Amino acid sequence: MAETESGLPIQAVYDDLPAGFDAASLGEPGQYPFTRGVYPTMYTGRPWTMRQYAGFGTAAESNARYKELVANGTGGLSVAFDLPTQMGYDSDAPLAHGEVGKVGVAIDSLDDMQVLFDGLPLDQVSTSMTINAPASTLLLLYQLTAQAQGIAADKLTGTIQNDVLKEYIARGTYIYPPAQSLRLISDIFAYCHKEIPRWNTISISGYHMAEAGATPVQEVAFTLANAIAYVRAAQTAGLHVDDFAPRLSFFFVARTTLLEEVAKFRAARRIWARIMRDDFGAKNPKSQMLRFHTQTAGVQLTAQQPEVNLVRVALQGLGAVFGGTQSLHTNSYDEAIALPTAKAARLALRTQQVIAYETDVTKTVDPFAGSYVVEALTDDLEEAVLDLMKQVEDRGGAVPAIEEGFQKSEIEKTAYDTALQIDSGERVVVGQNKFTIDTEEPYEPLRVDPAIEAEQGKRLEQLRESRDNALVQQHLAALQKAATGADNVLLPMRDALAARATGGEVADALREVWGAYVPRDSF
């Protein structure tokens, strides 16, 4: 019998709905358990938010790309930051050498953030920022930038990823130890509840675990286990579940295996609704909703015959829409080679627009409801996800399991098996191990000017010469004092950034108090 990506059996023919299936228990769209979608009308009212993930080089270069995307019809911005920014280092730090502006935009200070969003209506556009360990810093810089534009914080909408636990599992852009990271995240929840109430305070991510090799079951199970840890940490900090849970959001991948992906999204919504209602006592229906952003699968793109990626991305995007995503980023066809060119980014956006405006998938809610195969797969995925979540819980929850290396080890085993299947040809990758061609057409990639690093260094030098350094040090000392106690660290952090402290200086101040995380396998 054939198997899904998660190793679950998939039949050639399904003759009936799964045993015990009851249309009444399936629920209506927009109602508990939200299997059929979190909103009653879904896309029949309006389509999902079309985001395009972009950011490279300097703030000025990225600003130009954002304006082009907005002009082409994107409804939401999604910011990619370079590795030094993600790790809490300034562009002139020794560890930043060679990485400035390479995989995203370099943001060192409020000056850079103001250039990044110059001329963009922050009260009209929703902004997602893929930033984790220093999420608080970038969020505050965004708030201060909006403030300088005369926009009140309660008008801002968007998301910070802010999901540090998955960094210990799959990506590695962590700074502080887990306990301190959870403290910082809880402070962000509390700060945004009061200061930026429409902001999504976290995007709990399975995407990066999937990119590291996780199956759909592992992706959902480990993501929801991390989400439970965040909810518990917030409650331990004294926050009421219905005060922060409505602003939780999630981030998943969409693979080419369309049927399993649709079932995965439906199962994830159902599991989360039950956890929030029954385990955490959430009364607000918005606290029970699993709202999520989707990105098409970068790991499935190939450098060989890159135009074929256009087909993959269209199928993946369609799966995300069939699964009920709230926002979507479609990858550019050339991302397996280099940073996307402007033409490739525009084509990726056009892919979403074709799905939204030229197909009929937006004319009905949950088109796969009652499908023999999808309902069976939804049940099977739910059972497998709950079993794996129990294995995490049996180890004491997400954080102890991370410290044990459980999730990372499970994902690495799956990634290894997948690589073997591709190498042997058992798993077909069109253009890579089957249907290959002898010569590839020439392609001119987008290249980041290495002079950007020196340019950012000069900007930092000028910044430190022109600001009140005594005032900066005063605010950084207040930040450290809050970090050693129980006060919300975002308040003194905001003061420091407003005085033009750099992101690296803020991170260093907290490193001195909280230390830096060293994974067990590094000893």
Lookup: tokens for 357: 């405006």
pLDDT at 436: 95
Instruction: Provide φ and ψ at 123, rounded to 5°.
Output: -90, 0
DSSP assignment letter at 53: E
pLDDT at 522: 43
Amino acid at 463: L
pLDDT 10s per residue in the chain (523 long)?
A: 799 999 999 999 999 999 888 877 789 999 999 999 999 999 999 999 998 888 888 999 999 999 998 888 887 888 999 999 999 999 999 999 999 999 899 999 999 999 999 999 999 989 999 999 999 999 999 999 999 999 999 999 999 999 999 999 998 999 999 999 999 999 999 999 999 999 999 999 999 999 999 999 999 999 999 999 999 999 999 999 999 999 999 999 999 999 999 999 999 999 999 999 999 999 999 999 999 999 999 999 999 999 999 999 999 999 999 999 999 999 999 999 988 888 999 999 999 999 999 999 999 999 999 999 999 999 999 999 999 999 999 999 999 999 999 999 999 999 999 999 999 999 999 999 999 998 887 877 777 788 999 999 999 999 999 999 999 999 999 999 999 999 999 999 999 999 999 999 999 999 999 999 988 764 3
Alpha carbon distance 507, 137 (integer Å): 9
Burial 35-57 (b: 16+ CB within 10 A, else e): bbbbbeebbeeebbbbbbbbbbb
Alpha carbon distance 85, 77 (integer Å): 18
pLDDT at 51: 86
pLDDT at 338: 86
Alpha carbon distance 449, 338 (integer Å): 13
296 DSSP β-pair partners: 254
pLDDT at 181: 97
Lookup: tokens for 40: 């009653």
Domains of the chain: 2-20+37-359+366-424 (3.20.20.240)
Alpha carbon distance 44, 350 (integer Å): 20
Alpha carbon distance 292, 490 (integer Å): 26
pLDDT at 521: 62
In this prediction the pTM is: 0.93
Give the count of beta carbons closer than 10 Å to the beta carbon of residue 329. Answer: 31
Instruction: Provide φ and ψ at 142, rounded to 5°.
Output: -65, -45
Instruction: State the Cα torsion 51-249-41-45 to the nearest 10°.
Output: -30
pLDDT at 519: 83
* Element of type H or E holding 406: helix 406-424
pLDDT at 523: 35
